[in-house]
Structure 1
Amino acid sequence: MARVFMIISLVACLVSVAYAASGTATYYTPPYVPSSCYGYQDNGVMIAAASDVIWNNRAACGRNYRVTCTGPTNQGVPQPCRGSVVVKIVDYCPPGCAGTIDLSQEAFARIADPNAGKVRIDYQQV
């Protein structure tokens, strides 16, 4: 029974990794209100703005994404990554947005050194 559970767990982990998309993350600074999705409602600081890649005419509003730093966007920069974070989409990052997901400054600092400015990421809806 333990062996079956372990195999199922392994398959579940591989499936969840398979659905992650790749992109880039940048960050924006306060104030975080008003936002395109919630106006003047405060949604905390673990938030993000979605670029056209995931915005889908406001359908992304309220969705949660796990964002994991995978590396620097510039070759000469030391490894900026610190891990992953779950954020809620509360805003829109208009055309010309420099990243796939524009994280709040606090969320970006959880996954990478803010001095990097922009990092490569994997992201998936959770």
Structure 2
Amino acid sequence: MSNMVCRKATLLLIIHHLLALCSADVGTAASYDRPYVPTACYGWDVSQIPSDNMFAAASERIWDNGAACGRTYQVRCLSGEAPPNPCNSGENVKVTVVDQAPPVSTPSSSGTTLVLTVDAFFAIADSSASLINIEFLHYRFPSRVRETGSFSSTSEDSDQALHRWGCRLVQMIIVILVKGKSKSEWKSYTRN
């Protein structure tokens, strides 16, 4: 009996970790403007800052004692209060964390999850908005996989395609893991 309990616990742990690869979270975002250096991650080293200004400062919620440095997030605007519907419909932006939101970066609104550069913020929201509700997805696939896998381009479209491909792979693995002894014994699995 304990062997069966151990198998189920292991299965649940595997499923939990696989689902974490494909999960998005919600939070808020504000913007900040130059000067962008020094940063909490790289100090005065501007070579570490994306030249397209698509980067962000992480709040304490995702800062993780500096482990957030270099993480890449796909960010999408969901809603906001002012102006009514400040989101640029269907737009999302990929940002890299290079800083910590406060104490280093001063956002347009305090207490946000991510503080985006004005370039990144205005790519997904109206320029008169100061605070928006966002969905953000951490790309957990290592960059070397993106570079050596079947998706060799580093463009945003290929990153999204790789992430969708990876999530489909995770879903197939979960189906295989929860399958019963025969084809007629499929166990249902839902994620809240």
The answer to whether the superposition gives a TM-score over 0.5 is yes
User: Relative contact order, CA 8 A, sep 6+: which one is greater?
Assistant: 1
CA distance in 2, matches of 1:105, 1:91: 14
Give yes or no for the alignment of 1:29 onto 2:28: no
Residue 97 of structure 1 deviates from its aligned partner by: 3.7
- 1:30-109 equivalent positions in 2, closer than 5 A: 30-42=34-46, 43=49, 44=51, 45-72=53-80, 74=81, 77-82=83-88, 83-94=91-102, 97-109=110-122
RMSD: 1.9
Q: Is the 8 A contact 2:58 2:68 kept in 1?
A: yes
Larger radius of gyration: 2
Instruction: Say whether the 8 Å CA contact 1:26–1:98 is kept in structure 2.
Output: no
8 A Cα contact 2:83 2:128, kept in partner: no
* Mapped partners of 2:35, 2:111: distance in 1: 19
Give 1:52 deviation, angstroms. 0.7
Identify which range, 35-44 or 23-32, moves more after superposition: 35-44
Deviates more, 1:77-86 or 1:104-113: 77-86
1:116: Cα distance to partner?
A: 0.9
Which structure carries more strand by proportion?
A: 1
Structure 1 consecutive aligned stretches of length 4 or more whose deviation exceeds 4 Å: none
What TM-score does the superposition give when structure 1 sets the normalisation length?
A: 0.79
Q: 1: CA distance between counterparts of 2:124 and 2:113?
A: 15
Map of 1:115 onto structure 2: 128
Structure 2: distance between partners of 1:122 and 1:88: 15
Aligned-partner Cα distance in 2 for 1:77–1:47 = 24
TM-score after normalising by structure 2: 0.53
Unaligned 5+ residue runs, structure 1?
Answer: 1-14
- Structure 2: runs of 5+ lacking an equivalent: 1-18, 104-108, 140-192
Q: Which has the higher helix share?
A: 2
